[in-house]
A and B are shown apart, each in its own frame.
Chain A
Amino acid sequence: MSLSCLDCGQRADRVFCDLAPEALHEFDSIKSIQNCPRGTVLFREGQVARGVQLLCEGRVRLTVCSESGRRMTLRIVSPGEVLGLSATLCGGCYEVTAEAVDAVQLAAVGRKELLQFLHEHRDVCLQVVNLLSEDLHVAYDRVRSVGLTRTRHSHGQHTPLTH
Chain B
Amino acid sequence: MTGRVLAIAALTFALLAPAAGAAERASLTEIEKQVMCPVCGTLLQLAESPQAQRERVFINRLIDEGKSEEEVKDALVAEYGDEVLALPPDSGFSLSAYLVPIVAFLIAAAALAVGVLRWRRAGGGDGKGGPAARAAGPSDEDAERLDADIARYDL
Please determine whether chains A and B interact with each other in the same assembly. no
**A positions within 8 Å CB-CB of B:** none
**B positions within 8 Å CB-CB of A:** none
